Structures are given as structure tokens and as C-alpha cells.
């Protein structure tokens, strides 16, 4: 496969528009991927050349997908750890088999993950969910980068590899990256709500968290949130059961309820309350079941389960 792209002449490339465009994107991204690290310093360093080679080869290997910005972020930690071009390529290819829908042009997978994240948030922290909805931030766009490249820019290389190994296991359940994202968000709950952040401020804040997030605490809270949801498995509506990989149940009454106001909801489907600026935390225009929850401290599984029992009543 490497031979395929390496032997394309300039004349052929001139008539191969898709190839030329992918190659140009790869060159741009390689030139700015983790250049502060010694392994990728210099335009012609071994790390940079190998990064380029693997991305070009993968582009030919999966030409329908080609190359999309962000793939270099996924590849870089694997390459730096393995430092063997062939082995790294196949590890990267297998990783992409799992997450390639993130990079599809339609962005359907990313939109669904953001919507599903908000649905889960309404369960695990209904007050924060109501706050985001009131601030027109229920689309969860501030979490786009988290899910697109599996939090690669949020943690150090060593922490990223630990996180990825955890997520690669598929345990404790499907769509677990969503719980990791919610864990980061909930850890910053007080900052967001007390400062009345809207979507743009939340986006700025979460970007500023890069390399300053405690992985151990994040994973502990993500697991606590997952256990919180699973503790009331029998009460979960099918919309939530589908997200976490549980079989659907017969729920004629629940199917008629408006379970979520996700990012793809139309204006008619969304709640009419959309105050601007964002409301005071605990303000009367936030109709939520739990007024005293605060999950910005270390995770407490019992407290989380108690909070869920309050939140789940919205669906019953």
C-alpha cells in the first residue's frame, strides 16, 4: 500500500484531485502535530516522516474515508509508543476500525454521541442538564473534540495511553467514552454554573483544561456515573438502554414521553424556556428535581445513586 502512493508521479497527482487534497491535509496536520515533543521536532525527523508515511498509507488503505483532520492526533501517541512503522500502521488501522465513524463527512456519529451524552446527563445530573438547555448549550458541542479523538488533547501522553487501554477493553459497557466526557463536565459543574457560562464560555473553559485534568479522578467518577445508571437498570427507558447497550423493554407509557432535548431536536421539540443570559444557578426558571447536588468534589457512589433516584422520576 505504501508503494501505491509513493510511486504516484506529479503528473498523475495533478489528475487525481482526491489524492492531492488528502495529501495536502496530511502535510498540514503533520507539520503541527505534537511538535513540542522531541520525537516530532523538525520537518524531517524520523517521527515526523513516519507519521506522514502511515497517514498516507492509511489514506490509500481506506480511500473512501481518506484523511480527516484529527487522525494525526490518534496516530501520534501510538507511533511514539511503538516506534515501528508497520506495527504502528496496523494498530492504528484497528483503532480506526472502531472509531472511523467519528471522521465521516456526515458527522452523524458525532452528532449522535453528543445527543446521547446530553440524554445521559439528564439522568445523572438533571440540574446541570437543565442549566445547559436554558443556556442553549444542550447540543454539547464543547465536547466534540473529546469524543472525536478520544480525549487525546486533554491528557498527557502517558495518561492518554492509560485511558485508551481502558476504553479499548470495552468495559464496563458500550459508549463508555460518553461517561468519561460527562465525568470531565461534572467535575467542572460548579465553575460553569456559578459563573453563568454559556456555550462559548464553556467551550473556552474546557479547552483551557487541556493537560490539567486528573485522569484517576476522571476515571473514578466515570465509573461511578456508569454504576449509578446501572443501579436502576430496570427503570431505564429504552432511549437510555439503547445508549448503554441494554436490550429494549416494553414501555408503552414511556415511549410517549419527551425524554430528551438533544442537539438534533427541532425548535418545536425543544423546551420553550431559553433565557438569556444564562440563569442564576438554582433560579426559578430551572425546573429540576435536585437543588442541592454538587458533584465537583471526589465521586461518592452512594450520593450519585441517591441523585439518580431523584432524576429518574422525570421518566417514570
pLDDT of residue 147: 98
pLDDT of residue 155: 97
Residue 255 has pLDDT above 60, yes or no: no
60 within 8 A of 42, measured Cβ to Cβ: no
pLDDT of residue 251: 67
> Which range, of 101-105, 168-172, 275-279, averages the lowest pLDDT?
275-279
Residue 250 has pLDDT above 60, yes or no: yes
- Cα–Cα nearest to 39, from 93, 76, 86: 76
> How far is residue 145's CA from residue 126's CA, in Å, rounded to a whole number?
23
Element (H, E) at 302: helix 301-311
159 within 8 A of 165, measured Cβ to Cβ: no
- Cα–Cα nearest to 161, from 210, 215, 98, 117: 215
135 within 8 A of 199, measured Cβ to Cβ: yes
Residue 70 has pLDDT above 70, yes or no: yes
Give one DSSP letter per residue of 110-141, joined into a string.
HHHHHHHHHHHHHHH-HHHHHHHHHTT-TT-G
pLDDT of residue 268: 34
- Mapped onto helix, strand or coil, the DSSP state of residue 156 is coil
Q: Could you tell me the pLDDT band of residue 305, with boundaries at 50, 70 and 90?
A: very low
pTM of the model: 0.80
DSSP letter at 292 equals S
Residue 55 has pLDDT above 50, yes or no: yes
> Which range, of 83-87, 170-174, 211-215, averages the lowest pLDDT?
170-174
Give one DSSP letter per residue of 167-182, joined into a string.
HHTT-S-TTHHHHHHH
- Cα–Cα nearest to 67, from 15, 11, 29: 29
> How far is residue 287's CA from residue 284's CA, in Å, rounded to a whole number?
7
Q: Which regions of the chain does DSSP assign to beta strands (E)? A: none
pLDDT of residue 277: 54
pLDDT of residue 185: 98
Q: Where are the domains of the chain?
A: 2-103, 108-315
Mean pLDDT of the chain: 83
Per-residue CA distances from 225 to 189, 218, 242, 307 (Å): 14, 11, 17, 11
CA atoms within 13 A on the CB side of 188: 25
pLDDT of residue 200: 95
Phi/psi of residue 308, nearest 5 degrees: -60, -40
Residue 312 has pLDDT above 70, yes or no: no
pLDDT of residue 252: 55
Sign of the alpha-carbon torsion through 188, 194, 200, 201: negative
DSSP letter at 236 equals -
pLDDT of residue 265: 41
Residue 306 has pLDDT above 60, yes or no: no
Query: What CATH number has the domain spanning 108-315?
Result: 1.10.472.80
> How far is residue 32's CA from residue 1's CA, in Å, rounded to a whole number?
25
Residue 272 has pLDDT above 60, yes or no: no
In this structure, CATH architecture of domain 2-103: Orthogonal Bundle (1.10)
Q: Could you tell me the pLDDT band of residue 76, with boundaries at 50, 70 and 90?
A: very high
Q: Could you tell me the pLDDT band of residue 126, with boundaries at 50, 70 and 90?
A: very high
The 10s digit of each residue's pLDDT in 136-147 is 999 999 999 999
| 108-315 has the same fold as 2-103 | no
Amino acid at each position: 500500500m505504501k508503494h501505491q502512493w509513493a510511486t504516484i508521479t506529479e503528473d498523475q497527482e495533478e489528475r487525481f484531485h482526491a489524492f492531492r487534497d488528502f495529501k495536502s491535509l496530511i502535510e498540514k496536520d503533520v507539520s503541527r502535530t505534537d511538535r513540542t515533543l522531541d520525537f516530532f521536532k523538525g520537518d524531517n525527523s524520523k517521527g515526523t516522516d513516519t507519521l506522514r508515511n502511515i497517514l498516507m498509507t492509511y489514506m490509500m488503505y481506506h480511500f473512501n474515508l481518506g484523511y480527516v483532520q484529527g487522525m494525526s492526533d490518534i496516530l501520534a501517541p501510538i507511533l511514539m509508543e511503538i516506534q515501528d512503522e508497520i506495527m504502528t500502521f496496523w494498530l492504528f488501522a484497528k483503532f480506526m476500525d472502531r472509531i472511523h465513524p467519528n471522521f465521516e463527512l456526515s458527522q452523524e456519529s458525532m452528532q449522535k454521541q453528543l445527543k446521547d451524552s446530553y440524554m445521559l446527563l439528564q439522568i445523572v445530573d438533571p440540574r446541570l442538564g437543565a442549566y445547559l438547555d436554558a443556556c442553549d448549550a444542550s447540543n454539547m458541542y464543547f465536547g466534540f473534540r473529546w469524543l472525536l479523538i478520544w480525549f487525546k488533547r486533554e491528557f498527557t501522553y502517558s495518561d492518554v495511553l492509560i485511558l485508551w487501554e481502558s476504553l479499548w477493553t470495552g468495559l464496563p459497557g458500550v459508549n463508555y467514552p460518553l461517561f468519561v466526557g460527562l465525568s470531565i463536565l461534572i467535575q467542572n459543574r460548579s465553575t460553569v454554573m456559578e459563573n453563568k457560562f454559556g456555550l462559548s464560555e464553556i467551550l473556552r473553559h474546557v479547552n483551557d483544561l487541556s493537560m490539567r485534568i486528573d485522569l484517576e479522578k476522571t476515571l473514578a467518577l466515570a465509573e461511578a456515573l456508569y454504576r449509578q445508571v446501572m443501579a436502576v437498570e430496570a427503570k431505564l427507558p429504552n432511549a437510555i438502554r439503547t445508549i448503554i447497550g441494554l436490550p429494549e423493554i416494553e414501555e408503552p407509557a414511556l415511549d410517549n414521553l419527551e425524554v430528551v432535548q438533544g442537539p438534533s431536536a427541532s425548535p418545536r421539540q425543544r423546551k420553550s424556556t431559553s433565557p438569556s443570559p444564562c440563569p442564576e444557578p438554582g433560579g426559578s426558571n430551572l425546573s429540576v428535581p435536585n437543588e442541592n447536588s454538587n458533584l465537583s468534589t471526589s465521586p461518592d457512589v452512594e450520593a450519585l445513586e441517591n441523585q439518580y433516584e431523584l432524576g429518574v422520576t422525570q421518566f417514570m
